[in-house]
Chains A and B, each alone.
Chain A
């Protein structure tokens, strides 16, 4: 069973600050995804990264896949209260038909 560890588990910051969330594993993944989940809703896919070293940007969010495809990071610039939510990373490994999820990072951005 592949495991994905996310850190930090909780993060509370002021509006305008920058932050980084990490997703690490000892296993290699063929792709890695990031989701955001708001209270009472299901997770929503933000991005998929598939190539080692790949960097993708989505407005103020920057996603990076590690060179060895074992880890990923999510960086948010100038966080806003609307960024508040649970951020989940998920990996696809080899021929597996399903994703393995990290335990999540609960982000709170205070106005």
Chain B
């Protein structure tokens, strides 16, 4: 069964810590995405990548960076975690979003205290 795996389901970090969220897909997809999901705000795109070592900013990239050294892995980095980054983080991959849509991971619920 094809899937997107996020390394942690729940994570609690302290303000100022550097946080790594890992995402791995086994479908050989070129496109990978990081979203955050907050009540009333829907899914907001942080960063996406359409090829190895390529990255593009989404709608809310401030405070985040990403790394894609291998096709199957897309990492989201919170350089210095803040309480307003407490959220559900969703990783997705796609063969082509327009026709094939996204396959999402189960999400990482991050709490910054």
A contact set with B: CB distance below 8 Å: 1, 30-31, 33, 35, 40-45, 48, 50, 88, 90, 92, 97-99, 101-104
Contact = CB atoms under 8 A, between A and B. Distances in A.
B107 A42 contact: yes
Contact of A103 (B4, B31, B40, B101): B40
A24 B99 CA distance: 20
A63 to B, nearest CB: 13
A42 B42 contact: no
B41 interface: yes
Interface stretch (B12-20, B61-69, B71-79, B90-98): B90-98
A88 B107 contact: no
Contacts of B99: 31, 48, 50
Contact of A97 (B9, B31, B104): B31
Nearest to B45: A98
A33 B40 CA distance: 20
A48 B99 CA distance: 7
Given A1-B59, A31-B99, A50-B99, A101 B42 contact: yes
A45 to B, nearest CB: 4
